[in-house]
Structure 1
């Protein structure tokens, strides 16, 4: 194989390994960070780890953006189950892989 083919193959493998499920909704530019939480749950064999992150603004600030960053690069699935962009509250549900740890940074911008 040529050097170019080997380099291309290594690049493709690196991209395939970096398969994190980061989540971004809305705009984070020109918005202030209203809430931040780091979720770190250890792994339990044959069990999916699930964590709900709640945010509720007492002074009715409207949410402009939500970012959930997978710090461990797993195939965990973040989702919004209540509220979100345009509301003053949000519930972010983090559902990890079976048998894997859950390590996320959740940020809410208002």
Structure 2
């Protein structure tokens, strides 16, 4: 019984980590659009999508913050501005995994020398 549970949990973890790479930059486009609408306080904003974008970006940053050299006074608004602009300015990268795209945006803005 324990062996079946262990195998089931192992497969679930492996399947979950593999599926993370199916979320790419194209999948961030609509949530980013809604995030931009939220910034403008557009009454037609889909806040679920907007906060999904924000949460995804924060999650990637929190999981990988040791890879960046952000300033001491770095904040959430700056993080969102950097990532949003990078994604909007680089449509040729939209097919890349979303976490790599977010990480590349932050590294480009705050490289470690």
TM-score (norm 2): 0.28
| Greater share of residues in strand | 1
| Greater share of residues in helix | 2
